[in-house]
Structure 1
Amino acid sequence: MSSSIQDLCRAIAQNTSYDAFAPALNAHQWETLGGYLQVFDLAAGQVLIDQGTIDRTVFFIESGALSVHLIGDKGQMQLAILNPGSVVGEGSFFSRAPRSANVVATGAARVWRLTAIRFAELSKRQPDLALEITLGLGAVIARRMVNKPKRVAVT
């Protein structure tokens, strides 16, 4: 595996949070998946996801932390802090609904993005890999939905 995808794999493997993204992928599958992902570096305060926008991209966090917050009538409310090895954007990825919250880098961060178009290509060319990613993302949503304080953080 290339060193860059290895860093993402390591972050995912070390994530022990209740809502960890934990697909059952081997080294070859990770390398294949890496060809469908784009690495994206964020600066502190940079917005990754804008509440209300329509976008199905899902992001895998390699390093740094992301703040998930909701803008409402009473101002801004922080919903969650997501750390390396986690994912964000999973709700709109499946629902095709507008983004439910803002996501901002709390400091320098590196994420890997999987767009809907690239996922469609992955699904056609590597259906078993796409299925495992789908199951892994579905498990994240299921765990977040069971945890009432985090339920609203499904983006």
Structure 2
Amino acid sequence: MAKNPFPRKNIHDIFKLYLFNKRPKDLVKQKIFKVGVLKKNIFMAIPLLSNKDVYISTLALMHIYDRRGAVLENTILPSFNALISSPDGVYLNKEGKNRRGNILFTKKIENHYLAVILEIATIQGKTSCQIITIFICDHNYFEDLKCLWNGRTATPSSQCNNS
């Protein structure tokens, strides 16, 4: 049996193995890990996907760590699994010259929202989601985006409202 080039790992383990005690802008070895699987109803709402797997690279995690620091450890890592497996909303991301990532997941945590930007990428010959970044935002960030799926009502885009 061939070894899986992208093993499934817990996001906490990846952080501890590759980033813990790193300083901002330190170099990290590029590795890609499977960190989750989309639920069927979310998978069906995202166009072009052929695979439910969600991946993150050590470079993306280092980017988040460089930009978010304590927020990564105190808010993002503890909420990560809920953000991927049961988001409050799935949206088409804003487009722009310097923007990456097609899809935005949101999850309300306390008084703010966590947003994860996912890029539709070909991994092992299948179109999957790869995490680009995660950040804290307010409702205004995504209120004008096209909603693909509403997690509060578990409905597709035809019944979304951005609240």
| TM-score normalised by structure 1 residue count | 0.29
Of structures 1 and 2, the one with the larger relative CO (CA 8 A, separation 6+) is 1
| TM-score normalised by structure 2 residue count | 0.28
Higher strand proportion: 2
Higher helix proportion: 1
